[in-house]
Structure 1
Amino acid sequence: MIRLLLIGIGTGNPDHLTRAAVKAMNEADLILLPRKGDAKSDLIDLRRAICAQVLTGPTRIVEFDMPVRAVEPAYLDAVAAWHNAIADRWMEQAALHLPGGGTLALLVWGDPSLYDSSLRIAARLGGQISIRVIPGITSIQALTAAHGICLNRLAEPVLITTGRRLRDDGWLAGVDDIVVMLDGHCAFRTLPPEGIHIWWGAYLGMDCEELAEGPLSETGPSIIERRAALRERHGWIMDVYLLRRAGFN
């Protein structure tokens, strides 16, 4: 039997690790670190640095190449096939390095239960594995803390969605506050900007953290330019933003 630990590690800052995360990492027999190509080499470097900083025992570290998601119109089908391939890769590594069973750990950006697919992938493993989640600091928490703002207004809801859904569905009725994640194309540009305020952050918690805030009509265009320059400089970007209609408090 393999025991799988999905450990939330925050947004790249080793100080984001909870004591529970550090304890779980040291309890593991094996930590798998995914390689995602040269363009995202910083991500595995950060995971390596976290392991070097907190591991004190005999936990083994093994790196593996992540499958690449197919680019095709059928988005959900492509994601499902990709998740199946990742699950297969996890089990291949477990069979190779933990043939007699043991505790396997994966270090998950942010929190494993919020806009991350590690739990969905693990569910594909069925009864072959037991799963434990160690929560972590999310990019949403890091964003609001960096800007010194509350996520919600008094007695008001907040919608958490993706750039794709914001682009396809527009601003949904009944909410005035929207957090947008996984947005590779600045979907806020599809909105009429009048009366909307934006708080944006990239590489939150890292040394290269970038922030912007202001009326969408003024700040949006500069974020688009800045984001493109940062992606060119680093080869990848992780960002998130909060949109709030006029009258915020």
Structure 2
Amino acid sequence: MRILHLSLLAGVCLLSVGDWSFAADWSEYQTLSNRITDLTDEYTRLSNQSPERANTKKSIEAAVAEAFDLRQKIQREEIVAARKELDAIEQRLNERQQDKAQILQNKVTEILSGKELAWPISEGREKAKTESGRIAAGDVIAIYLPGVLPFNPPNQPPTPPPVTNFDSGLVATGYPIVVHTDGTVQLPLIDRIQVAGLSIREAEKAVANAYVETDILRPEKARPMITLIPKHGSN
């Protein structure tokens, strides 16, 4: 899958060590969340007055505090990534400003040859598409689902997902999957899932439901992360 990941996303730059740290933190957060769920199940099974129940509650409190701190760290890292994206957009604006004369000359030539005045889509609109747009046949989506993509042996912590940073600043977490012409994606262990026409959040819910309904994952562990990779993300 790593070879597929690199070949499908040719022309983009991989994240630095700090960005891999972001992926590791996110994976650790998922592990903590699963641990809290297991501890809560154990707490519910224990009798009200047992010492074990009190100790389990303390473990839950400690895990929740750890999850809070880790969430704060992750969100700070997201702020850093957002600033990098804004810096990249500003750099492109500055470069275009410096090349203004040539750009205008090329645009006038295109108009005189019969083409319409059509400026390229902005990075901001492209990013908005990745967040709120609908998935279509032919799109590439990055999917990370702990325990499935990538596969993990039982009782082992989740493997950090591959993370890719585009020149535009977009961060894609997970393994690239092509949406087939019929609008479906093929994922491990289950039948194809229809994702064309869905938003990112709807697609995540569809993937989660597919693994829960086939008894492959418990509901609390079926938490896919999906990123829509823009077709011109590396430009």
TM-score for both structures, normalised by structure 1: 0.25
More helix by percentage: 2
Task: Name the structure where strand makes up a greater proportion of residues.
Answer: 1
Question: Who wins on radius of gyration, i.e. which is larger?
Answer: 2
TM-score normalised over the length of structure 2: 0.26
